Amino acid sequence: MSSCKKDQSNYDYKDHEKITVTGIESSYTLISELESLNLKPEVTSTDPNANFEYLWGIYETNVQGSVPVLDTLAKTKNLNYLIKQAAKGWVLVYRVTNKNTGYSQYINVPVNVVTEFTRGWYVAKDDGTDTDLDLFLTPTSIVPTGKRENVYSSINGSKLPGQANLLSFLTGYKSTVTGVLGNTRTLALSTDKDMATVNVNTLKKIYTLDNIMFDTPPVKGPCYTFLGSGAYYLINGGNIHSIVNNSPNIGKFGGRFLRDASNNPYQLSKYFMSNNSGNAYLYDETSSSFFAIGSGYGTALSSISDVTGTAMSATNTNQKVLFMGIKSATYLPSPALRYTFAGCAVFQDKTNPSNKTVSHVEMDLFTMKFTNTSLTSADKLYNAAHITMPFGQENILYFSIGGNQVWSRNLSNNFEKLEYTVPAGEEITFIRHKNGTEVNYAYNYIMVGSKINGTYKIRMFNKSSGSITGNPIVTLEGTGAAKDVLYISPSVSEFTHNIQW
Amino acid sequence: MRKLLYILLVIAVAAVTSCKQDQYYLFNDVGRVQFGPEPNRIYTTSYDLADTLKPYTFYYEDPSVVQDTIFFDIYAIGGTKDADRTFSLEQEQIPNAVNAVAGTHYVGFGDQKVNKFYVIKKGTVHTRVPIIVLRDASLKNSTPKLKFRIVANADFQLGEQNKLWRKIEITDRLSQPAQWNASFTQYYFGKYSVVKHSFLINSSGEKWDNDFITNMYAVGGLLSYYQLTMKTALINYNNAHPGAPLVDEFGEVVVFP
């Protein structure tokens, strides 16, 4: 029987064919509806009798809820195609097939489709009544060369009510701006009276507080929008709502979380400690207690348990939170397989307001541990106004005092240092630290916003060993009072910046 | 010898079991007819027994509405034909239950108003069976059941045994929607009661009928929204009635999981 078996062995000992394609860059960045892909590749093969056929296609990246489809652009050797795709990441595919052998060579090239709005420094500012966005254009480097003032109102017809708060960036936010429900690169602009999600490709608003929930909220603002693990959060009027981004959603925030099974009232602080890798930690000013939410799920805030050795309980602290923020996230290996957070909080005693404390805070699941250091009136931090904590950097706080001075406090040794004084007449409106690693656009800046005579300045300084070095590398100027600033580019995702005060 | 006996025993068992008739019918069998799920679900085995029971209530309808139509999907197997083929239905009495009465609670299967639609059109294998339910005054305080089954006729033999019947529960009171199923109970709103159902309707201003529940599943995040807001509404109700929490018709305190 075995002798009857047909011999299907391959006795072709020729080398594998090699098709070589040159003349295609490793990536392209193009402005939608304006620039074209003009490609004239050279194609050769080790098969001297090669007879090629060609196919150009493109598919989108960062797709959720559907399988990316290759859209055929051309079946010619060269490509001349006006980019019409939405501003986001795409992959250009060039397939060359030798019809003689059936062998194909695929070339995949990332294509960043952008608009004039997809790269630059965005400034959230207000005129005391309403909020707008300024965009500083950065076509060649992190230092801007042009400016578009009031881009939010010029595109949407009106400013956003209220004074500006936080500016956040969400890249997994769901909307139907392209006609199909999908991830949308979205700016979340929060004010003390409203909030708006804004498609960063067009700067058209998607929702405001009037329609971003399934019902109309009884109060409007103050609003703070930020990212959690698999979730987005919105604090509105001291109550918190979530979008569980790990589950199907349409970009609308859910109902108001309960504080407990009795629906006792609560009023969340504007400060939060939240990150894409763990729980969101919140502070209720009514009960003077910390709470947490995991991944946006649930119907009630989760209570916090105390850890042995904590300097104070997380519940009924009798403290007012003057600031809190995350310093770092640490991954615990198996069997834990989760992140823990470390951060810092500045407290003021409710009974004796002259008692202030700076606290090192450790957070793991639904526990918190506080290590407190008392502040005296001799400490500059004691009188701090605007405070910020850099994420993933030195163990340090930056803060303003007296309206014009920027100080740092090394939290490892409590050393305080005057970092910068804004020119006379200017008043500091915010301090932030942000950094980015994009090639040709890398930065690691301490940012100081100030206002004078109805105009703002945002000075961005290099940081060395925790301190400001030299003069500002970037200075943004415009009308109004600036409250936050964010750098956006096609490579920036919601994980790039840790959104906090 | 013993080994031989074992072998013979195995062969005997195999011979007996192999004689069992296959319960499934082939596509080229004689014409048969049986109920099934909606056409887009026919290849999803978990939906094989979907729609066997359809509760219906006139509760949400305007008083001027005196009848309504409920549809079931029915399928011919054994291929298509070049001529229309009729199928026949009859009521099956359910022991120890309030059975629906033809002419009172529904239009009887022999009535031309409905049986003219009991046709599988030529070249097709599917149609929707209309059952007309009637709003009798008795439905205000009872929920009669209408169980009906396919009867073999000249055009069709019977299909698979467990797909030959369907059931409707007819009432003019608030009743458990079909979409308030085991999953909805376990994961979202808990055990059904008329009191809970009324509370949801009054608290939300929504119907909480099949269409509403289906839409909650379809719109991402909406189900969670209602879970949270209805739980909040229940807490607020119980807070406003200290010592007298909302209790359902079974005497149990209403809860949302």
Residue contacts between A and B (CB atoms, under 8 Å): 51
Q: Where are the alpha helices (DSSP H) in chain B?
A: 2-17, 112-115, 182-184, 194-204, 210-218, 222-240
Q: Are residues B220 and A248, on separate chains, in Cβ contact within 8 Å?
A: yes
E strand residue ranges, A61-145? 71-74, 79-82, 89-98, 103-114, 120-126, 130-137
Q: Cis peptide leading into A110, omega within 30 of 0?
A: no
pLDDT band for position B45 (cuts 50, 70, 90): confident
State percent of chain B over pLDDT 90. 77
Q: How close A365 comes to chain B (CA, Å)?
A: 23
Q: How close A296 comes to chain B (CA, Å)?
A: 11
Residue A72 CB: number of other CB atoms within 10 A?
A: 11
- Closest residue in chain B to residue A181, using alpha carbons only: B220
Q: Are residues B221 and A247, on separate chains, in Cβ contact within 8 Å?
A: yes
A279: which 2 tokens? 């729980």
Residues from B in contact with A at Cβ < 8 Å: 219-222, 224-229, 231-232, 235-236, 239
Q: Is A248 on the interface with B (CB under 8 A)?
A: yes
- Closest residue in chain A to residue B230, using alpha carbons only: A255
Residue A152: its H or E element: helix A151-156
Give the per-residue pLDDT at A32: 81
Q: Are residues B221 and A252, on separate chains, in Cβ contact within 8 Å?
A: yes
- Closest residue in chain A to residue B228, using alpha carbons only: A299
Return the minimum-mean-pLDDT range out of A82-86, A200-204, B32-36, B141-145.
Answer: A82-86
A127: which 2 tokens? 């005129």
Residues of B in contact with A263 (CB under 8 A): 232, 235-236, 239
Q: Are residues B221 and A262, on separate chains, in Cβ contact within 8 Å?
A: no
Distance CA A362, CA A408 (A): 21
Give the per-residue pLDDT at B2: 57
Which ipTM score applies to this complex? 0.81
Q: Residue type for A286, please?
A: T
Distance CA A37, CA A25 (A): 11
Give the per-residue pLDDT at A389: 97
Interface test with A, best of B222, B227, B228 (most A CBs within 10 A): B228
Q: What are phi and psi of B70, to 5 degrees?
A: -115, 135
Nearest to A280 by CA among A266, A295, A268: A295
B21: which 2 tokens? 């008739």
Q: How close B177 comes to chain A (CA, Å)?
A: 23
Q: How close B219 comes to chain A (CA, Å)?
A: 7
Give the per-residue pLDDT at B48: 77
Query: Residue A344: helix, strand or coil by DSSP?
Result: strand
Residues of A in contact with B226 (CB under 8 A): 255
- Closest residue in chain A to residue B240, using alpha carbons only: A262
- Closest residue in chain A to residue B204, using alpha carbons only: A215
Q: Are A122 and A68 in contact (CB under 8 A)?
A: no
Return the minimum-mean-pLDDT range out of A360-369, B21-30, B147-156.
Answer: B21-30
Buried b (16+ CB within 10 A) or exposed e, A295-325: bbebbbbbebeeeeebebbbbebebbbbbbb
> Taking the CA atoms of chain B, what radius of gyration do you get in angstroms?
24
Give the per-residue pLDDT at A1: 46
Mean pLDDT over B9-13 rounds to 56
Give the per-residue pLDDT at A146: 93
Q: Residue type for A345, please?
A: A
Of A244, A249, A299, the CB nearest to B231: A299
Of B221, B226, B235, the CB nearest to A243: B221
Encode pLDDT of B214-251 as tens digits: 999 999 999 999 999 999 999 999 999 999 999 999 99
> Taking the CA atoms of chain A, what radius of gyration do you get in angstroms?
27
Residue by residue, pLDDT tens for chain A (501 residues) are 445 777 777 776 777 889 999 999 999 988 887 789 999 999 999 999 999 999 999 998 877 666 788 999 999 999 999 988 888 889 999 999 999 999 999 999 999 888 889 899 999 999 999 999 999 999 899 999 999 999 999 999 999 999 999 999 999 999 999 888 989 999 999 999 999 999 999 999 999 999 999 999 999 999 999 999 999 999 999 999 999 998 999 999 999 999 999 999 999 999 999 999 999 999 999 999 999 999 999 999 999 999 999 999 999 999 999 999 999 999 999 999 999 999 999 999 999 999 999 999 999 999 999 999 999 999 999 999 999 999 999 999 999 999 999 999 999 999 999 999 999 999 999 999 999 999 999 999 999 999 999 999 999 999 999 999 999 999 999 999 999 999 999 889 999 989 999
Cα dihedral A475→A466→A423→A436 (10° resolution) = 10
Residues of A in contact with B227 (CB under 8 A): 255, 299
Q: Are residues A263 and B235, on separate chains, in Cβ contact within 8 Å?
A: yes
Of A214, A252, A261, the CB nearest to B235: A261
Phi-psi region of A254 (alpha: psi -120 to 50; beta: other; left: phi over 0): beta
- Closest residue in chain A to residue B236, using alpha carbons only: A263
B148: which 2 tokens? 């009906």
Give the per-residue pLDDT at B15: 52
Q: What share of chain B is helix, strand, coil (3-state, %, to 5)?
A: 30, 25, 45
